[in-house]
């Protein structure tokens, strides 16, 4: 059979998910995508974060290049004008014609703009696409007041966006309460209190009759109750309507209130046309959330299989949702308002802390029917699992939402969940999937995340995921042993806290007072770990006598051991900026000592093939030329990479080189659980690749955006945007705190990326600790960092001036000979270690 | 074979290793030995071959010393296998490296 011709109309989140799912499947298909927007699919859910510093590139879910790689024929910026069902082809506004075997409509929806007289004038806008955001931003520039029409979920998101733009945000809602679809009256009132406290003005029961020219401001809204409101701009977010015109024109069946009618297989009234996502209606219901859209996409793809067993249905989806609106936690589960006849409610309201919870249960009190949560969503995961899996409630269901007075609130044990329980709804991961991952060898939450993608979408299920993983590991008799090694019954974090609080400054003392056996020697696990902790805390020279035996060979000889036992030498080149004379000196040292030279990825020069006994002389020469140690051998700051920035570049908006040099000089020598890297880019083009670093800084017109926990290497991770438009003082403050918090809490040899993946509470928690000082430790973290900065020394400079330390670099304690096993040959004009064959040949020659 | 003086005790580094060159009259190829000084143990000083047979380089004197339960070991700085300081046995592999009888007498370190 030849490949099916599949044409997908629409490239929103759901359309893209269809394409990706199909491309990943075994189905042979030629895929064509036609997107009306000028760019490929992006994350519409997090649209308002664009005003919080996110770039459109960061919202992107795919790229043109990616589509090319997976052989998808993609066209953007051209709308489909017509479906010709007889000829089985679609025609675009631009006149392109595409033939199909199967057509998929993923046209999404458009914002409903109520036909209020005057709605179509300037500064009356919609909130739906990235381009809309551009218009909103332009309209808001230099203005004071913005009104959002619509107090639903999207309206409040939009109000947040206006607030982030620096406007006084007003929400105008026709109904008596906010988020009327999801919340009951009590929840709605509490939500209003909370967001009013944040400075958002809320006007409910307001029917807008007319929009006219304002007297003071640009526009005036006139309401049915004879009141008025002046504003600089209006954004409509009063609900969405399915984009179904194409289907209507092609005589496909549409729902009474719009939407393309589909069956359980997502087929429309034409067997060769599917509809998925917000443009589709299944049994009078439009699923306006992304997770159900994804499920529809998967169901539609599966219909293309020949084998019936592989076909899945979409029979509706749970619309429970948990989110943060303007920083307020809001959750809604099932029948949240208790509309069902047999529903019985428990309500808890705390007006002092502004928390509202409503639990709707069946008349016999056994089952959860729904819930509303405002101000505190900590019970959401548990309640949702009871609801989705039809689990029997305890005898006192009210305890589920009451604050714990004595001991912990009842949480749902992971053992009570059936294998089919959905743990992560973003990626459709069930408890069964997690169990399978653990059976397949996953031993940590991070492993399971990597294997199943659970908790990598919105992250709301992270705590539940951890419960399930812990429970499963425990039930397999795998005691999760977090001891660092046999010599200390503690984690690295414990040891750090012990050393810090008891002011212990040597390994021997730590072993004597806190070791499993006080006369143990330790090992190659605990010794370097403790050496690193001591260095982070007290910052003594690594070759002080109490520390020297603890160091890995690289730290001991302050160079990187290579396969033949020789070392490589990397002097520091802060920010990658180097004087011509220093380059010449580097070349001279390489020539004098016969070293192989290579440029590193971190914008410096690595000199290979140095014999141990030559290291002090090499370093004396480098120090004379103005170099310092580059800590290329240490679990410490490596480099701060930079682009040339505004000094030279046409596009740069800040001096990225200067900032990189300052950062490198500030944090050089800081030892950590693992190596860490930084970079500073001078503009959003990001030439320094800061988002692949542990700490990335990107210049903006207003300051610096800070990214954290990125990684290149074996397991690349895109850094998370941590804070935006910082001045340099705040930037340094946040980095100080961030690094010290990482140093304090990470496991040994754990990079920031893995540490972050295991951090309960994720980015929000980290922000809380670093920005809001939620643990009350920031002052301590900063003063600790200051101590390390104040006590910095170039380890090599200290070493070459100390006869005792230089003694350590002798190849033999009883001879001046060199290691006869180190043999080099020449290649491309430089040395390299000899291969086995070459080595034997040269040894034979020496003997004969 | 008689006692051969290798170095001074002050050439050793407590809880760490150094390397010495052993010249043998009957063998043109000299041997490198790794000498570890562990002042808190009964023997105080240990000598094994400096050659790491797995990493194939003369590096064992530059490894970290420690104990795995009762066994005193050095971890190769190349690929981290452990070798017993007393027997030369590799913990992870069926490989055994040469050990040397070594002792401290007064201020000097001797190979017996």
| Contact assignment for A813 to B65 by CB distance below 8 Å | no
Let me know: does A21 contact A297? Beta carbons within 8 Å. Answer: yes
Q: Is B65 within 8 Å of chain A by CB?
A: yes
Cβ of B18 and A545 within 8 Å? no
Tell me if chain B has a CB within 8 Å of the CB of A816.
no
% of chain A with per-residue pLDDT over 90 = 64
B4-111: CATH class:
mainly beta
Sheet of A89-92, strands arranged across: A80-84, A89-92, A97-99
Contact B6 A814 (CB under 8 A): yes
Nearest to residue A597, comparing CAs of A281, A378, A828, A352?
A: A828
CB atoms A528 and B13 under 8 Å: no
Looking at CA atoms only, how far is residue B69 from chain A in angstroms? 8
Q: Cβ separation of A522 and B66 shorter than 8 Å?
A: yes
> Residue A167: what pLDDT?
92
Give the least confident one: A41-45, A487-491, B103-107. Answer: A41-45
Q: Which residue in B12, B57, B63 is closest to A821 by CB distance? A: B57
A624-642 pLDDT tens trace: 999 999 999 999 999 999 9
Whole-number Å distance between alpha carbons of A766 and A754: 14
Chain A's closest residue to B19, CA to CA, is: A812
Label residue A321 by pLDDT band (50, 70, 90): confident
3-state secondary structure A229-295: EEECEEEECCCEEECCHHHHHCCCCECCCCCEECCCCCECCCCCEEECHHHEEECCECCCCHHHHHH
Give the C-alpha separation, A651 to A430, whole Å: 47
pLDDT, tens digit (0-9, with 9 covering 90-100), for A253-291:
999 889 999 999 999 999 999 999 999 999 888 988 888
B34: nearest CA in chain A?
Answer: A812
| pLDDT over 70 (residue A712) | yes
Q: Which residues of A touch B6 (CB under 8 A)?
A: 813-814
Inform me whether the pLDDT recorded for A54 exceeds 60.
yes
Chain B residue closest to A526 (CA)?
B66
> Is the pLDDT confidence value at A407 over 50?
no
Q: How far apart are CA A454 and CA A462, in angstroms?
A: 8
Inter-chain touch A549–B75, beta carbons under 8 Å: no
Spatial separation of the C-alpha atoms in residues A722 and A333, rounded to whole Å: 30
Residue of B21, B56, B69 lying closest to A814 (CB–CB): B21
List the one residue out of A66, A41, A63, A44 whose CA is nearest residue A54.
Answer: A44
Q: Does B91 touch chain A (CB under 8 A)?
A: no
Three-state DSSP class for residue A640 = strand
pLDDT of residue A408: 45
- In order of A23, A167, A619, A753, B46, the CA distances from B110 in angstroms are 71, 83, 34, 51, 11
* Cβ atoms A261, A269 nearer than 8 A: yes
- Chain A residue with the nearest C-alpha to that of B64: A524
Q: Look at residue B67 and give its three-state secondary structure.
A: strand
Residue of B nearest to A811 (CA): B19
| A196-200, A779-783, A841-845, range with the lowest pLDDT | A841-845
Residue A69 CA to residue A86 CA, distance in Å, equals 32
Question: Stretch A142-149: mean pLDDT, rounded?
Answer: 93
Q: Is the Cβ pair B62, A817 closer than 8 Å?
A: no
> Distance, in angstroms, between A566 CA and closest chain B CA?
9
Is a pLDDT exceeding 80 seen at residue A405?
no
> How far from A509 is each of A530, A537, A674, B97, CA to CA, in Å?
11, 15, 24, 33
Contact across the interface for B28 and A810, Cβ inside 8 Å: no
The residue of chain B with its CA nearest to that of A549 is B16
Question: Which of B20, B51, B77 faces A814 most closely, judged by CB atoms?
Answer: B20
pLDDT band at A458 (very low <50, low <70, confident <90, very high): low
B57:A810 CB<8 A: no
Q: Determine the pLDDT at residue A128.
A: 84
- Min mean pLDDT across A392-401, A471-480, A503-512, A643-652 is at A471-480
**B21 close contact with A: CB closer than 8 A:** yes
- Whether residue B77 and residue A561 make contact (CB cut-off 8 A), yes or no, is yes
- How far off is chain A from B38, nearest CA to CA, in Å? 9
Of A430 and A260, the structure prediction assigns the larger pLDDT to A260
Query: Which whole number is the average pLDDT over B79-102?
Result: 94
ipTM associated with this complex:
0.94
Q: Is the pLDDT of residue A423 over 90?
A: no
Q: Is B72 an interface residue toward A (CB < 8 Å)?
A: yes
Are the Cβ atoms of B14 and A847 closer than 8 angstroms?
no
Residue A846 forms contact with B (CB below 8 Å) = no
A residues 537-566 closer than 8 Å to B (CB): 545, 548-554, 556-557, 561, 563-565
- Nearest-CA distance A529 → chain B (Å): 12
Q: Does residue B53 belong to the interface with chain A, where contact is any CB pair within 8 Å?
A: no
Which residues lie below 8 Å from residue A229, measured CB to CB, with a gap of 6+? A147, A170, A172, A203, A220, A221, A223
> Which pLDDT belongs to residue A577?
97
All residues of chain A having their beta carbon less than 8 Å from the beta carbon of residue B66 are 487, 521-524, 526-527
**B16 closest CB neighbour out of A519, A548, A847:** A548
Inter-chain residue contact A486 with B38, CB threshold 8 Å: no
pLDDT on residue A608: 97
Q: What pLDDT is attached to residue A842?
A: 76
Return the pLDDT at A468.
86
Find the residue in A nearest to B39 (Cα).
A521
The yes-or-no verdict on residue A406 having pLDDT over 70 is no
Share of chain A above pLDDT 70, in %: 97
pLDDT at B74 over 50: yes
For residues A386-421, one letter each, b for 16 or more C-beta atoms within 10 angstroms of the residue's C-beta and e for the rest, the string is bbbbebebeeebeebbbeeeeeeebebebeebeeeb
Query: Tokens 């099916």 correspond to what residue?
Result: A4
Q: Do B16 and A549 touch (CB under 8 A)?
A: yes
CA-wise closest residue to A180 among A372, A430, A1, A456: A372
- State the maximum Cα–Cα separation within chain A, in Å, rounded to a whole number: 110
- Whether A545 sits inside 8 A of B62 (CB atoms) is no
Gyration radius from chain A CA atoms: 32
How does DSSP assign A676-736, residue by residue? EEEEEESSTT-TT-GGGSSEEEEEETTEEEEEES-B-SSS-BPPEEEEEEE-HHHHHHHHH
CA–CA dist A317, A314 (Å, integer) = 8
**Residues in chain A closer than 8 A to B7 (CB atoms):** 813-814
User: What average pLDDT does the segment A295-323 reach?
Assistant: 88
Task: Show residues of chain B in contact with A544, CB under 8 Å.
Answer: none
Smallest Cβ distance to A815: which of B13, B21, B66?
B21
Chain B residues touching A820 at Cβ < 8 A: 30
Q: Which of A557, A558, A560, A490 lies closest to A530, judged by CA?
A: A490
Say if A821 is an interface residue toward chain B (CB within 8 Å). yes
Whether the per-residue pLDDT at A404 is higher than 70: the answer is no
- Taking the CA atoms of A668, A673, A677 and A680 in sequence, report the sign of the dihedral they define: negative
Is residue A113 very low, low, confident or very high in pLDDT (cuts 50, 70, 90)?
Answer: confident
Interface test with B, best of A813, A821, A822, A823 (most B CBs within 10 A): A813
Using the Cβ of A523 and the Cβ atoms of chain B, whether some distance falls under 8 Å is answered with yes
Judging contacts by C-beta atoms under 8 Å, the chain A residues touching residue B80 are 524
Q: Which of A36-50, A339-353, A529-543, B66-80 has the lowest mean pLDDT?
A: A36-50
Query: Does the beta-carbon distance from A819 to B66 stay under 8 Å?
Result: no
Residue A222's H or E segment, with its range, is strand A219-223
Q: Are B61 and B54 in contact (CB under 8 A)?
A: no
Largest distance between two CA atoms of chain B: 39
Residue A97: its pLDDT value, please? 95
- Over residues A440-445, mean pLDDT: 83
What average pLDDT score do residues A139-159 get? 90
Task: Give the pLDDT of residue A532.
Answer: 95
């Amino acid at each position: 059979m030849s490949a099916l011709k599949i044409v997908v109309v629409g490239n929103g989140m759901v359309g893209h998910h269809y394409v990706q799912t199909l491309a990943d499947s075994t189905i042979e298909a030629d895929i064509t995508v036609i997107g009306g927007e000028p760019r490929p699919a992006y994350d519409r859910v997090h649209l308002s974060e664009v005003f919080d510093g996110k770039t459109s590139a960061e919202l992107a879910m795919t790229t043109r290049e990616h589509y090319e790689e997976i052989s998808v024929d993609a066209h953007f910026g051209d709308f489909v004008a017509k479906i010709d069902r007889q000829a089985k082809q679609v025609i675009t506004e631009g006149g392109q014609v595409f033939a199909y075997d199967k057509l998929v409509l993923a046209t999404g929806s458009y914002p409903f703009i109520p036909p209020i007289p005057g709605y179509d004038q300037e500064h009356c806008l919609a909130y739906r696409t990235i381009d809309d955001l551009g218009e909103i931003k332009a309209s808001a520039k230099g203005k004071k007041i913005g009104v959002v029409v619509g107090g639903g979920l999207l309206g409040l998101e939009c109000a947040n966006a206006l607030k982030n733009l620096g406007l006084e945000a007003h929400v105008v809602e026709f109904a008596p309460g906010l988020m009327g679809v999801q919340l009951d009256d009590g929840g709605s009132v509490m939500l209003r209190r909370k967001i009013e406290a944040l400075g958002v003005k809320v006007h409910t029961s307001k029917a807008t009759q007319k929009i006219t020219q304002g007297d003071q401001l640009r526009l005036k809204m006139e309401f049915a109750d004879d009141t008025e409101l002046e504003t600089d701009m209006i954004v409509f977010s009063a609900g969405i309507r399915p984009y179904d015109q194409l289907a209507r024109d092609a005589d496909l069946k549409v729902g009474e209130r719009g939407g393309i009618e589909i069956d359980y297989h997502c087929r429309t009234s034409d067997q060769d046309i599917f509809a998925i996502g917000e443009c589709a209606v299944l049994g009078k219901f439009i699923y306006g959330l992304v997770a159900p859209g994804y499920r529809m996409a998967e169901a539609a793809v599966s219909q293309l299989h020949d084998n019936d067993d592989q076909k899945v249905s979409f029979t509706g989806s749970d619309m429970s949702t948990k989110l943060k609106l303007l920083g307020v936690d809001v959750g809604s589960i099932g029948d949240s308002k208790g509309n069902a006849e047999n529903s019985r409610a428990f309500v808890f309201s705390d007006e002092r802390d502004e928390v509202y919870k409503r639990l709707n249960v069946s008349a016999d009190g056994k089952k959860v029917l729904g819930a509303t949560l405002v101000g505190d969503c900590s019970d959401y995961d548990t309640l949702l699992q009871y609801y989705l899996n039809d689990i029997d409630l305890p005898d006192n269901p009210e305890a589920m939402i009451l604050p714990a007075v004595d001991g912990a609130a009842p949480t749902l044990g992971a053992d009570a969940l059936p294998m089919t329980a959905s743990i992560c709804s973003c990626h459709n991961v069930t408890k069964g999937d997690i169990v399978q991952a653990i059976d397949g060898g996953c031993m940590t939450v991070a492993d399971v995340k990597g294997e199943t993608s659970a908790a990598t979408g919105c992250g709301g299920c992270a705590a539940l995921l951890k419960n399930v993983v812990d429970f499963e590991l425990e039930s397999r008799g795998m005691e999760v042993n977090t001891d660092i090694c046999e010599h200390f019954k503690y984690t690295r974090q414990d040891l750090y806290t012990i050393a810090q609080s008891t002011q212990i400054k040597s390994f021997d003392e730590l072993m004597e007072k806190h070791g499993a056996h006080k006369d143990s020697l330790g090992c190659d696990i605990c010794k370097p770990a403790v050496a690193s902790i001591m260095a982070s805390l007290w910052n003594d020279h690594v070759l002080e006598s109490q520390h020297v035996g603890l160091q890995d060979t690289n730290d001991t000889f302050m160079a990187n051991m290579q396969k033949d036992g020789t070392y490589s030498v990397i002097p520091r080149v802060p920010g990658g900026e180097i004087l011509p004379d220093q380059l010449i000196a580097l070349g001279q040292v390489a020539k004098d000592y016969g070293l192989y030279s290579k440029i590193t990825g971190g914008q410096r020069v690595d000199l290979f093939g140095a014999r141990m006994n030559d290291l002090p002389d090499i370093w004396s020469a480098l120090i004379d030329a103005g170099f310092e140690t580059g800590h290329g051998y240490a679990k410490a700051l490596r480099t701060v990479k930079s682009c040339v920035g505004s000094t030279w570049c046409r596009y740069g908006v800040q001096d990225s080189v200067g900032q990189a040099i300052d950062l490198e000089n500030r944090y050089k020598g800081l030892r950590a659980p693992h190596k860490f890297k930084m970079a500073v880019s001078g503009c959003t083009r990001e030439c320094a690749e800061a988002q692949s670093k542990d700490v990335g800084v990107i210049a903006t017109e207003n300051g610096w955006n800070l990214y954290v926990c990125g990684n290149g290497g074996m397991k690349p991770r895109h850094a998370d945007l941590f804070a935006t438009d910082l001045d340099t003082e705040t930037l340094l403050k946040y980095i100080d705190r961030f690094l010290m918090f990482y140093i304090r809490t990470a496991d040994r040899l754990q990079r920031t990326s893995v540490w972050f993946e295991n951090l309960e509470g994720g980015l929000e928690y980290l922000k809380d600790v670093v920005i809001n000082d939620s643990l009350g430790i920031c002052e301590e973290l900063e003063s600790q960092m200051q101590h390390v900065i104040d006590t910095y020394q170039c380890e090599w400079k200290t070493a070459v001036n100390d006869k005792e330390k230089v003694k350590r670099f002798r190849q033999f304690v009883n001879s001046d000979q060199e290691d006869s096993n180190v043999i080099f040959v020449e290649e491309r004009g430089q040395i390299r270690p000899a291969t086995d064959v070459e080595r034997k040949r040269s040894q034979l020659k020496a003997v004969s | 074979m008689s006692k051969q003086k290798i170095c001074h005790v002050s050439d050793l580094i407590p809880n760490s290793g150094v390397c010495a060159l052993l010249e043998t009259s009957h063998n043109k190829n000299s041997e490198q030995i790794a000498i570890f000084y562990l002042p808190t143990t009964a023997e105080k000083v240990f000598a094994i071959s400096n050659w790491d047979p797995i990493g194939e380089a003369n590096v064992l004197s530059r490894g970290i010393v420690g104990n795995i339960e009762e066994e005193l070991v050095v971890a190769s700085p190349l690929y981290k296998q452990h070798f017993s300081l007393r027997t030369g046995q590799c913990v992870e592999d069926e490989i055994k490296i040469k050990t040397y009888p070594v002792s401290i007498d007064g201020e000097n370190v001797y190979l017996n």
